[in-house]
Amino acid sequence: MLKIEISFAQKVSAIQQKTDSIQTSRQWDITDFYKRITHSKSNFTLARAATEKPQFAFAPAAGYTLQTGFAALMSANMVFAFKDSKVSTMLGNIAYTQYNQVIFPVHADIWTRHDKYNFVSDNRFMKYPSETFGLSGNPRRYNAEQTGYYIDFSYIKFHESILRKIATNLYGGAGYFYDYLWNEKEVDPPAKTVTSFQRYGIHSNETASGFNFQLLYDSRDNQVNPKKGFYLSANYRKNLRWMGSSTHWQSEVIELKKYFTFPQNSKNVLALWNYNWFTTGMGAEKTPYLLLPSTGWDDFFNTGRGYIQGRFRGRNMSYAEAEYRFRILNNGLLGGVVFANAQTFTRDVVITNHHVFELGYGAGLRILINKLSDTNLCIDYGWGQNGSQGFFVNLGEVF
């Protein structure tokens, strides 16, 4: 749930194995800054490169989101690479937050030789009291429920996929997705109000179990911090009772990203992102409430800067964001971004019944943590509508 630690697994796994030593020697990252101010000649690094011999790291860390508040965590990761393949990673950590949440993710992204196969594992345990705001109807018509109230639940996620190379930059594959929610309950819901959760149907325990099919195209020059390229992922999930699911339902996620160097001869980047998450077909009305499309509940919890996680929820979600990334210092140590996004949700399965767009915008700083992987510490401040605002911290770019 914490962006600073969850998204690290995906970002680090894309570290390029071949780095232009001339270009990086001209850059400063936080290690170079540390050495300069302390006049140190030590070999202190921050996981500068991966080799076939596994590299281990273990460290305390901290994170922050609107939904979790401040959090303390212990994190461990292993990085390695087979010959002629992308870098593989395994990451695990445990976090305890300001709002008494427990978050324990274990993520693996393994590439075989010559990138022939990609094994992706996303497993999590969460004890997660958090705010909900009901289903998105007319966001302009606010009531007691839309000020937010707490729900409590525990959650296990077990998502396993295998992708095989089809052609250059093109992969396809399948997997098994399992989600189990238990001890679901409302905490002090609005008085004299039938909440969306109650109308939709509260179940103390719910299971989602089924197949997943994915098609992936990725031509980005650096998945950690792209300067150019295109990304397309189409993901279809089918949950079936005979596989242990509480109900039949299905979902589709279609995600696109595009990156331009702008102006052409600069180090600045214009990044565009489109994320669409639908629950469709027969049985879509049975999708568990807490697994419906919702702000900030994409796999890496990055949609909707400017709003608290879970601020909007509905049958279908369409999301778009643009971000302009620029250098502040010529050595690359410090950069900045400005961004704007829009999201819309439907109550009904019919996709044309979208309500008005909810807009967000903001700005942020980028501090270069590792110049070989081009990984930044991202500190953003975002604003939404109706007074929504707050800090958002991420390790690696948001998209």
Contacts of 235 by beta carbon, 8 Å cutoff, 6+ apart: 212, 213, 214, 252, 253, 254, 255
| Peptide bond before residue 288 is cis, with ω within 30 degrees of 0 | no
Q: Which of 82 and 98 is assigned the larger pLDDT?
A: 98
Structural tokens at position 379: 């500190």
pLDDT tens digit sequence for 326-367: 999 988 889 999 999 999 988 654 444 445 789 999 999 999
Contacts of 171 by beta carbon, 8 Å cutoff, 6+ apart: 118, 163, 164, 165, 214, 215, 216, 217, 218
Give residue 306's pLDDT. 95
Give residue 105's pLDDT. 93
Give CA–CA dist 207/288, Å, rounded.
8
Q: What are phi and psi of 91, to 5 degrees?
A: -135, 135
Give residue 370's pLDDT. 75
Give residue 23's pLDDT. 53
Give residue 281's pLDDT. 66
Give residue 21's pLDDT. 45
Range 337-370 burial, b when 16+ CB lie within 10 A, else e: bebbbbbbbbbebeeeebbebbebbbebebebbb
| Residue of 102, 85, 84, 81 whose CA lies nearest to 93 | 102
CATH of region 3-395, choose from 3.30.70.270, 3.20.20.10, 3.10.20.810, 2.40.160.50: 2.40.160.50
Give residue 146's pLDDT. 59
Give residue 35's pLDDT. 65
Give CA–CA dist 89/106, Å, rounded.
11
- Give the distance, in angstroms, between the CA of residue 89 and the centroid of all CA atoms in the same chain: 16
In this structure, are residues 251 and 279 in contact, taking their beta carbons and an 8 Å threshold? yes
Give CA–CA dist 202/206, Å, rounded.
10
Mean pLDDT, the chain, integer = 83
DSSP β-bridge partners for residue 173: 163, 214
- Alpha helices of 180-235 — where are they, by DSSP H? 196-200
Domain ranges, ordered by start, for the chain: 3-395
Asked if pLDDT for residue 47 goes beyond 50, the answer is: no
pLDDT tens digit sequence for 274-304: 999 998 766 556 789 999 999 999 988 899 9
